[in-house]
A and B are shown apart, each in its own frame.
Chain A
Amino acid sequence: GAVVSQHPSWVICKSGTSVKIECRSLDFQATTMFWYRQFPKQSLMLMATSNEGSKATYEQGVEKDKFLINHASLTLSTLTVTSAHPEDSSFYICSASPSGSWDYEQYFGPGTRLTVT
Chain B
Amino acid sequence: DAKTTQPPSMDCAEGRAANLPCNHSTISGNEYVYWYRQIHSQGPQYIIHGLKNNETNEMASLIITEDRKSSTLILPHATLRDTAVYYCIVRVQGGNKLVFGAGTILRVKS
Contacts and interface: CB of A to CB of B under 8 A. Distances in A.
A36 B41 CA distance: 13
Chain B facing A: main interface SS: loop
B103 A43 contact: yes
Nearest to A44: B100
B97 interface: yes
A103 B98 contact: no
A113 interface: yes
Interface residues of A, number: 25
Contact of B100 (A43, A91, A102, A111): A43
A46 B98 contact: yes
B96 A91 contact: no
A109 interface: yes
Interface of B: 38, 41-46, 87, 93-103
Given A108-B44, A110-B42, 11 more contacts: A6-B43, A34-B97, A34-B98, A43-B100, A43-B101, A46-B97, A49-B96, A93-B43, A93-B44, A95-B98, A111-B43
Interface of A: 4, 6, 32, 34, 36, 43-46, 49, 91, 93, 95, 97, 102-111, 113
